[in-house]
């Protein structure tokens, strides 16, 4: 399973709903991930450009894209999905990069 970081930007209506009825959103996110054969690793609220970040494990990029699309279609606001790679995977990519003879345009 691949890990993904899904960033969430709540729209005004979603934010008003959270303020009017404070709630833990992690259980709902967990159920969604489990229905897709994955799992919720963690759920954070954040300061800055994004309101929340969830770390999930899902089978594929298509599953992650489906979550983002369902969030937006459900009226949450905006989402951004980032695939996460382990250090072992990153080292493998670095080794592959060593074999590429790329020259920038001049």
pLDDT digit string, tens, across residues 15-53: 999 999 999 999 999 999 999 999 999 999 999 999 999
Q: How many domains is the chain built from? A: 1
Spatial distance between the Cα atoms of 74 and 43, rounded to a whole number of angstroms: 19
Residue 77 pLDDT level (bands cut at 50, 70, 90): confident
> How far is it, in rounded angstroms, from Cα 62 to Cα 46?
26
Contact indicator for 9, 77 with CB cutoff of 8 Å: yes
Residue 94: inside a domain, yes or no?
yes
* 32 vs 105: CA distance, rounded Å: 46
Q: Are strands 2-10 and 52-58 parallel, antiparallel or unpaired?
A: antiparallel
pTM of the model: 0.86
Query: At 53, which CATH number?
Result: 3.30.70.920
Structural domain that includes position 28 = 2-98
CA–CA separation, 101 vs 99, rounded Å? Answer: 6
In-domain check, residue 103 = no
Q: Is residue 58 part of a domain?
A: yes
Q: Report if residue 11 sits inside a domain.
A: yes
47 is a domain residue = yes
């Amino acid at each position: 399973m691949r890990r993904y970081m899904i960033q969430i930007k709540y729209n005004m209506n979603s934010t008003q709903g959270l303020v009017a009825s404070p709630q833990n959103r992690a259980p709902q996110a967990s159920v969604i991930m489990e229905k897709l054969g994955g799992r919720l690793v963690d759920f954070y609220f954040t300061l800055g450009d994004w309101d929340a970040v969830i770390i999930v494990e899902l089978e594929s990029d298509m599953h992650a894209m489906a979550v983002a699309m369902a969030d937006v279609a459900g009226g949450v606001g905006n989402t951004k999905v980032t695939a996460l790679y382990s250090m072992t995977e990153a080292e493998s990519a670095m080794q592959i990069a060593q074999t590429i003879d790329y020259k920038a345009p001049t």
